[in-house]
Amino acid sequence: MLESEPLFRVRNLTTRLNTEAGAIVPSDSVSFDIAAGEVLGLVGESGSGKSVTARASVRLQKPDDAIKAGELWFAGRDLRRLDAAQLRELRASEIAMIVQDPAAALNPVMTVGAQLTRVAREKGMSEQDAAARALELLVQLRIADPTRRLAAYPHELSGGMRQRVLIALALMCKPKLLIADEPTTALDVTVEADILSLLDALRRDLGMAMLLISHNLSVVARLCDRVAVMYAGRLVEIGPTPSVLADPRHPYTAALLASVPRGAKADGPLPAIPGEPPDLARLAPGCGFRARCAQAGPECEKPQTLQQVGDGRFSACWRAIA
Amino acid sequence: MKTPLLELAAVSKHYEVAAAPLAGLLSERPKVRAVEGVSLSVAQGEIMGLVGESGSGKSTLGRLALLLEPPTAGSVRFAGADPQADLNAFRRRAQMVFQDPQSSLNRSKTVGEILAMPLQVHDVGASRVARRARVAELLTSVGLRADAATRYPHELSGGQRQRVGIARALAIEPAFIVLDEPTSALDVSIQAQIANLLVELQQRLALTYLFISHDLRLVRWLCDRVAVMYLGRIVETGSAAALWQAPRHPYAQALLAAATAERAAPSGIGGEVPSPIAPPPGCAFHPRCAFAGPRCAREVPASRGDAQTNVACHLYDGGVA
């Protein structure tokens, strides 16, 4: 291939976890690329495997041996060959992560400033430079009264403010890739709008790539260049966000989009998806969505794989491929 | 105009916060003003939406409407009477569905026992056989199989548990239900199922709902009218369609714009929701409002309009100067 190597390349990532209900495969042969500066959205419902997949893709999933197969390439390096110390080094400098609940991710007994400077100090930055960088970031993140916030403890801040601090923590070392797991789910809609616009500005200004995990299609639509849709541990569709949202090529994506309320109840019932997401411990071969799919037929009992169905578009539904 | 089933008149709820030791001796204890002078009427057969962000007081208002807590000031009337006069009778007619069916269902009881409990408490369905038949009927009406009665809550999915929560609220055939974020804990694909069920039940049983949610698209779809709350007060009330198309209060405008944005864009209301312990003087929204003028910091805007459609903003009442 002549095209340039993407920043992050995941091929056939497969994870297996032992749960009380039995062994499950939260990610089954998942493949995706993220180019430098690109934002990829990973959409799915709870239990679809999106968080495990994202964490395993940078070897953050515990236990680490849950990763059963696959290739993970980041900036030319094979992540599966790195040892614990090298991984820690990589995460401290090039890959950062923010999570849904900043209250749990921040240290409650350290001030915001101490947490921010500690990250940079571990990277060998001087105390003075680290403090300057921390202040600069809080200003960039539009945190009012930044000097006073540096001296504050997490519990003294609002939810939106804590999420900004967590973003600042992730950005201290200017990462090339930011993994954001439901970064706005715990926030109010106006604060969510502010955080999304902030992330959008950061990716433009810093050229930072992002993997944004969300169950919310509207969040993905606002921020992501491309979107990958996950169902029952497998990617069912991937493609440029506008075209996937306008013209979905997998029945699950289509059903998910249709179930978002648009008009009023006088227009008739919402097109809900019948049934429930499948139990990953009892997943039959074939398309994981077929039990809830209006178009399912005998062909769907065969294993389905992602195949190209258009310009940059891939679907795992044989009907879209045929 | 339809007759109001529920009428809240100038209802307030203040909570005292624990202050530093001895501080209470010197001055008045600080108060959280969770709800401040709210008037709202809900017509028989109507679905009234209540939207606002965390800390706006919408859940507290829902609890006040059911007298789960006594209001600090103001009055609650139900079907033209004072519900305090016969609280037991009121409880038979007004019920609640909670956000999280995981924590609101007793995990040590079967679904059948959970649903039979309100029948026993309110002495409906005289015999055990009659109660069992009623439980089966309830389960069917919320789209569950009658044999779900023998299951425990943890054996059900989140969507199924919320159906049990709804069935429990329906058990004693209430006229009015407060639904506090009933779909927020559910997956996207299950939310639509529950929304459809709520509409079907409302129409079939002629129910009246107070529907509390932060999901504006769902509120627009489900509700006849909507009230928008900010820091303990209702800032705007109107038909769901009118509010969706042309919100008037600057906060309602920002909320709607944020909820329906198609591109990443700032909300336009910087800063944070102020503390309800020390709300800003005048209009509580004025420090974040792009249209605020001197009058907004001075004077609390009165609600202009009627019980159906109203807005509390100086822009619509002589200006902000």
Q: Report the pLDDT value the prediction gives residue B304, as an integer from 0 to 100.
A: 94
* pLDDT tens string B219-246: 999 999 999 999 999 999 999 999 999 9
Look at strands A209-214 and A226-231 and give their pairing: unpaired
Mean local confidence (pLDDT), B245-259: 94
Q: Cβ contacts of residue A172 below 8 Å, gap of 6+?
A: A116, A119, A120, A130, A133, A134, A137
How far apart are alpha carbons A213 and A53 in whole angstroms?
10
Q: Which helix (H) or strand (E) holds B306?
A: none
Identify which of A45, A51, A104 has the alpha carbon closest to the alpha carbon of residue B192: A45
Residues from chain A contacting residue B274 (CB–CB below 8 Å): none
Total residue count of chain B as it appears in this document: 321
Which of B189, B216, B266 is opposite residue A45, by nearest beta carbon? B189
Does the pLDDT of residue A294 top 50, yes or no? yes
- Give the tokens for residue B258: 């944020």
Question: What sign does the dihedral B278-B279-B281-B287 (CA atoms) show?
Answer: positive
Residues from chain A contacting residue B255 (CB–CB below 8 Å): 189-190
Does the pLDDT of residue B271 top 60, yes or no? yes
* pLDDT tens string B162-192: 999 999 999 999 999 999 999 988 888 899 9
Asked if the C-beta of B243 comes within 8 angstroms of chain A's C-beta atoms, the answer is no
Q: Answer whether A256 sits within 8 Å of B264, measured CB to CB.
A: no
Which of B187, B221, B259 is opposite residue A270, by nearest beta carbon? B221
Per-residue burial over B187-211, b if 16 or more Cβ lie within 10 Å, else e, is: bbbbbbbbbbbbbebbeeeebbbbb
How far apart are alpha carbons B147 and B111 in whole angstroms?
10
Q: Report the pLDDT value the prediction gives residue B196, as an integer from 0 to 100.
A: 96
Helix (H, G, I), strand (E, B) or coil at B321: coil
Residues from chain B contacting residue A183 (CB–CB below 8 Å): none
Residues from chain A contacting residue B267 (CB–CB below 8 Å): 189-191, 193-194
Please return the burial class of A248, using the count of CB atoms within 10 Å of its CB with bins 0-12, 13-18 and 19+: buried
- Give the tokens for residue A30: 């998942």
Mean local confidence (pLDDT), A297-303: 94
Q: What's the complex ipTM?
A: 0.88
- Compute the half-sphere exposure of residue B284: CA atoms within 13 Å on the CB side of its CA: 22
Q: What is the CA radius of gyration of chain A?
A: 21
Q: What is the CA radius of gyration of chain B?
A: 21
Taking the CA of residue A216 and the nearest CA in chain B, the distance in Å comes to 8
Does the pLDDT of residue A224 top 90, yes or no? yes
Taking the CA of residue B255 and the nearest CA in chain A, the distance in Å comes to 6
* pLDDT tens string A228-257: 999 999 999 999 999 999 999 999 999 999
Q: Report the pLDDT value the prediction gives residue A234, as an integer from 0 to 100.
A: 95
Alpha-carbon torsion angle A274, A280, A283, A287, nearest 10: 60
C-alpha pair distances (Å), B160 with each of A317, B46, B155: 29, 26, 9
How far apart are alpha carbons B113 and B117 in whole angstroms?
6
Strands (E), chain A: 8-19, 22-34, 39-43, 67-74, 77-78, 95-98, 177-181, 209-214, 226-231, 234-240, 307-310, 313-315
How far apart are alpha carbons A67 and A80 in whole angstroms?
9
Mean pLDDT lowest among A196-200, A206-210, B187-191, B308-312? B187-191
Which of A263, A265, A273 is opposite residue B199, by nearest beta carbon? A265
Residues from chain A contacting residue B193 (CB–CB below 8 Å): 272-274
Q: Mutate which of B221, B224, B229, B262 to test chain A, going by most A C-beta atoms within 10 A? A: B221
Share of chain A above pLDDT 90, in %: 63
> A226: which strand partners?
A40, A240
Which of A45, A196, A273 is opposite residue B264, by nearest beta carbon? A196
Does the pLDDT of residue A271 top 60, yes or no? yes
Look at strands A39-43 and A95-98 and give their pairing: unpaired
Asked if the C-beta of A322 comes within 8 angstroms of chain B's C-beta atoms, the answer is no
Which residue in this structure is represented by tokens 């709520």?
Answer: B198
Residues from chain B contacting residue A272 (CB–CB below 8 Å): 189-190, 192-193, 195-196
Q: Report the pLDDT value the prediction gives residue A295, as an integer from 0 to 100.
A: 92
Asked if the C-beta of B242 comes within 8 angstroms of chain A's C-beta atoms, the answer is no
Which of A193, A217, A223 is opposite residue B266, by nearest beta carbon? A193
Question: What sign does the dihedral A254-A257-A259-A261 (CA atoms) show?
Answer: negative
Q: Answer yes or no: are the C-beta atoms of B251 and B227 closer than 8 Å.
A: no
Number of A to B CB contacts under 8 A, please give it: 111
Asked if the C-beta of A269 comes within 8 angstroms of chain B's C-beta atoms, the answer is yes
Mean pLDDT lowest among A288-292, A307-311, B17-21, B121-125? B17-21
Asked if the C-beta of B186 comes within 8 angstroms of chain A's C-beta atoms, the answer is no
Residues from chain A contacting residue B261 (CB–CB below 8 Å): 193, 218, 222
Helix (H, G, I), strand (E, B) or coil at B175: coil
Q: Answer yes or no: are the C-beta atoms of B149 and B110 closer than 8 Å.
A: yes
Q: Report the pLDDT value the prediction gives residue A2, as an integer from 0 to 100.
A: 40
- Give the tokens for residue B207: 């129910």
Nearest CA in chain A to B259: A189
Q: What angle do CA B191, B198, A288 make, to 5 degrees?
A: 30
C-alpha pair distances (Å), A209 with each of A194, A223, B77, B321: 19, 12, 56, 47
- Average pLDDT value over all residues in chain A: 91
Asked if the C-beta of B263 comes within 8 angstroms of chain A's C-beta atoms, the answer is yes
Does the pLDDT of residue B152 top 60, yes or no? yes
Q: Report the pLDDT value the prediction gives residue B26, as an integer from 0 to 100.
A: 58
Asked if the C-beta of A128 comes within 8 angstroms of chain B's C-beta atoms, the answer is no
Q: Report the pLDDT value the prediction gives residue B20, as an integer from 0 to 100.
A: 59
Q: Answer yes or no: are the C-beta atoms of B229 and B37 closer than 8 Å.
A: no
Taking the CA of residue A143 and the nearest CA in chain B, the distance in Å comes to 9
Mean local confidence (pLDDT), A70-76: 95
- Considering only residues A102 and B201, tell me which one the structure prediction assigns the higher pLDDT: B201
Per-residue burial over A291-305, b if 16 or more Cβ lie within 10 Å, else e, is: bbbeebeeebeeebe
User: Cα B60 to chain center, whole Å?
Assistant: 8
Q: Report the pLDDT value the prediction gives residue B55, as an integer from 0 to 100.
A: 83
Please return the burial class of B287, using the count of CB atoms within 10 Å of its CB with bins 0-12, 13-18 and 19+: middle
Asked if the C-beta of B191 comes within 8 angstroms of chain A's C-beta atoms, the answer is yes
Taking the CA of residue A133 and the nearest CA in chain B, the distance in Å comes to 23
Does the pLDDT of residue A1 top 50, yes or no? no
Residue A134's identity, in one-letter code, is: A
Q: Cβ contacts of residue A3 below 8 Å, gap of 6+?
A: none
Question: What sign does the dihedral A218-A254-A180-B230 (CA atoms) show?
Answer: positive
- Give the tokens for residue B132: 């069992």
* pLDDT tens string A142-201: 787 889 999 999 988 888 888 889 999 998 888 999 999 998 887 888 888 988 998 999
- Give the tokens for residue A141: 């993140």
Q: Report the pLDDT value the prediction gives residue B19, as an integer from 0 to 100.
A: 60
How far apart are alpha carbons A233 and A53 in whole angstroms?
8
Please return the burial class of A281, using the count of CB atoms within 10 Å of its CB with bins 0-12, 13-18 and 19+: middle
* DSSP string covering A247-310: S-SSHHHHHHHHTS--S-GGG----PPPS-PPPGGGPPSS-TTGGG-TT--GGGGS----EEEE
- Considering only residues A121 and A75, tell me which one the structure prediction assigns the higher pLDDT: A75
Asked if the C-beta of B273 comes within 8 angstroms of chain A's C-beta atoms, the answer is yes
Q: What angle do CA A66, A70, A76 make, to 5 degrees?
A: 120
Q: Report the pLDDT value the prediction gives residue B24, as an integer from 0 to 100.
A: 56
Q: Answer whether B187 sits within 8 Å of A46, measured CB to CB.
A: yes
Interhelix angle A127-140/A159-171, rounded to 10 degrees, is 130
Mean local confidence (pLDDT), B288-309: 94
Q: Answer whether A190 sits within 8 Å of B267, measured CB to CB.
A: yes
Q: Report the pLDDT value the prediction gives residue A13, as an integer from 0 to 100.
A: 96
Share of chain A above pLDDT 70, in %: 99
